[in-house]
Structure 1
Amino acid sequence: MKLIDNIQDWICSLALSLAIALFINIFLVQHMVVEGHSMDPTLHDHQHLIISKFSHSIKKMPDYGDIVTIDSRVSRERSLKDDLSEPITNLVNQQQYVFVKRVIGKPGDVLEFKDSQVYRNGTKLDESYILETMRVMVDQKITVPADSIFVMGDNRNNSMDSRMIGAVPLNHVLGVMVAKI
């Protein structure tokens, strides 16, 4: 009988520990590994990051310059089911649709791409963090929609970002980087 009680205690302890770990991973903080070179020179391929998920949990708008993780599938709706299942599937294989990018624009901002520079609301951005001068094929002007952000990689010439996928809805912003490991 004592052995059965001990086994039950262990199972309860393990189940509680797993539930706490999942809660932390879903709603508070998450480990992530950078894949690719779109954020060079700021972040490097295979670099480990700590992501705060708290801002996603409370739907807080990130600040300009924040490095965020996003769900790049912007044309589909996200649900609580996505938030609950991703930490488990990420244990097996990091999702290819989760990107790491920098916040360039917020709702209502007018972004212009001209002369190899980015202008926000008529002011040229000071972007000392970018890898090289951005190649701009055609001058462009974009207004960031409500409840969305515009993100770009620091390696502008080799980044799949809002210039290609479009503005990122706020509920597709999965978290904000708080530390590099």
Structure 2
Amino acid sequence: MENKKKSKKKNEIWEWTKALLIAVVLAVVIRSFLFEPVVVNGQSMMPTLHNQDRLILNKISKPKRFDIIVFHATKTDNYVKRVIGLPGDRIEYKNDTLYINGKAYKEPYLAPYKKMYKEQYGNNTLLTENFKLKDVIGRDTVPKGTVFVLGDNRRNSRDSRMIGVVPMDKIIGKANVLFWPLSDFKFIK
């Protein structure tokens, strides 16, 4: 009878050990290949994202135009920026209007800052200074295998205008969910 109890106890410990091992392996796989939490560091994505916001990254979908991504900018720093240009795109800013391949695009996420700058500094103040892609990266089009990114806080953002295009293999993932602070919880479009 005592052997039966010992055997049952060993079996129970083994079952718990297996369950914990499976849970750890699943957590590692999910975090490594599917989703990852990140913290926004700085003001470069305001008003869309704020310093210390917490995001969930989707690591499996390819970035599309206007997605918010996180990428390895340096060996120690990751940046959060918005994809503006895809491979082959021609990018230009004229009078606070984005042109991609000659077509004007609205950027509704910039409206609060555009309004604020015009109120503070007058109607001739630009949130995004005029530029052509060739002037900032030395090429007419976004190179293959890279994206051109900008921060939403255009006057306070270290982005592709300074650091150049971002290689696809440096992209960690695309921001899908803002989960902290809870009062700002939202799915990011």
The TM tier, using the shorter chain, reads 0.7 to 0.9
Return the alpha-carbon distance in structure 2 between the equivalents of residues 152 and 135 of structure 1: 10
Q: How many residues align?
A: 154
| 1:49-128 → structure 2 map (5 Å cutoff) | 49-55=55-61, 60=62, 62-73=63-74, 96-128=76-108
SS of residue in 2 equivalent to 1:144: coil
Counterpart in the other structure of 1:39: 45
State how far apart, in whole Å, the 2-side matches of 1:164 and 1:18 are.
40
Q: Where is the helix percentage greater, Structure 1 or Structure 2? A: 2
Deviation at 1:7, TM superposition (A): 4.6
Q: What are the superposed Cα offsets for residues 3-38 of structure 1, whole Å, 9 maximum, x if unpaired?
A: 665555444432321111010011111111211110
Amino acid at match of 1:67: I
Deviation at 1:172, TM superposition (A): 1.3
Q: Give 1 or 2 for the bigger CA radius of gyration.
A: 2
**Alignment partners' CA distance in 1, 2:128 and 2:145:** 28
Contact 1:53/1:176 (CA < 8 Å) preserved in 2? yes
DSSP 3-state at the match of 1:99: strand
Unaligned runs of 5+ in 2: 1-5, 115-125, 135-140, 180-189
Give the structure 2 partner of residue 159 of structure 1.
157
CA-to-aligned-CA distance 1:75-115 (integer Å, 9 cap, x gap) = x9xxxxxxxxxxxxxxxxxxx52111101000011112344
Q: For the Cα contact (< 8 Å) 2:91–2:100, is it kept in 1? A: yes
* Structure 1: gaps (5+ residues): 77-95
Aligned AA for 1:101?
K
Q: Within 5 Å, which residues of 2 pair with 1:132-143? A: 132=114, 133-136=126-129, 139-142=131-134, 143=141
Q: TM-score, normalised by structure 1?
A: 0.74
Contact 1:117 1:134 in 2 (8 A): no
Moved runs in structure 1, 4+ residues, more than 6 A? Answer: none
Superposition TM-score, scaled by structure 2 size: 0.71
In structure 2, distance between residues paired with 1:104 and 1:135: 13
% identical equivalent positions: 39
Larger RCO (CA under 8 A, 6+ residues apart): 1
C-alpha distance in structure 1 between counterparts of 2:39 and 2:65, whole Å:
22
